[in-house]
């Protein structure tokens, strides 16, 4: 049943889940040295801003309405939901619901997703 829910969640992604190069995504400069990665940026960003609701360790009642299986407490979860993370935080700003992420952190999230995560997913 959990696999079916996961598959339906992926299939059910709408136009707000754009791939790089599609309308809405503005390419970023990927020349940072060293580049942003899960280890030096992503894990801490997700822990600070996302895993309060999106963690595999949370029960349904502790997720504040976040869908089950949308877990961002691992690199695998970040990879699986990368386009959704980008759509919800960068493109439409609906996540996190309370807002409050500094613009600099959002710019770094955008860079990490486009220059590291999307590149890895597409290769």
- Name the maximum alpha-carbon separation found in the chain: 43
What is the rounded distance in angstroms from the CA atom of residue 22 to the CA atom of residue 86? 13
The structure's pTM equals 0.82
Residue 41 near residue 112, CB atoms below 8 Å: yes
* Total residue length of the chain: 123
Task: Indicate the domain borders of the chain.
Answer: 30-122
What is the rounded distance in angstroms from the CA atom of residue 76 to the CA atom of residue 109? 16
* Average pLDDT of the residues of the chain: 86
Interior angle at CA 81, CA 4 and CA 75, nearest 5 = 110
100-121 pLDDT, tens digit each: 999 999 999 999 999 999 999 8
36-68 pLDDT, tens digit each: 999 999 999 999 999 999 999 999 999 999 999
């Amino acid at each position: 049943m959990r696999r079916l829910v996961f598959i339906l969640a992926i299939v059910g992604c709408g136009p707000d889940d754009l791939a790089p190069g599609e309308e809405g995504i503005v390419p970023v400069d990927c020349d940072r040295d060293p580049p942003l990665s899960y280890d030096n940026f992503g894990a801490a960003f997700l822990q600070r801003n996302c895993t309060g609701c999106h963690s595999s360790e949370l029960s349904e009642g502790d997720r504040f309405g976040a869908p089950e299986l949308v877990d961002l407490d691992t690199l695998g979860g970040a990879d699986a939901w990368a386009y959704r993370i980008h759509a919800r935080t960068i493109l439409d700003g609906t996540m996190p619901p309370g807002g409050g992420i500094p613009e600099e952190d959002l710019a770094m999230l955008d860079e990490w997703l486009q220059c590291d995560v999307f590149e890895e997913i597409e290769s």
